[in-house]
Amino acid sequence: MTDNKNRFYSVREVAEYLGISKQTMLRYEKRGLFPNSRRNPINKWREYTLSDVQKLKKILGR
């Protein structure tokens, strides 16, 4: 992942980076293992910052 503070990453991009499936990411969020993601105000898609990705990586112990 590039270190661009203004960039948002999609669920697919973050899941690939973490080595888990998109469905697993969504399931972890639904169960409360991952914090709720930010939503794009226009299309309501989940968005993650580089900081969010680093937090998720720590939660997974990677």
pLDDT > 90: what percent of the chain?
87
Per-residue confidence at 62, pLDDT binned at 50, 70, 90? Answer: confident
- Over residues 5-33, the pLDDT tens digits come to 789 999 999 999 999 999 999 999 999 99
pLDDT at 3 over 70: no
- Sorted by where each starts, the structural domains of the chain and their CATH numbers stand as 11-60 (1.10.1660.10)
Question: Under 8 Å CB-to-CB from 46, ≥6 apart: which residues?
Answer: 10, 11, 37, 38, 39, 40
pLDDT of residue 6: 80
62 vs 6: CA distance, rounded Å: 24
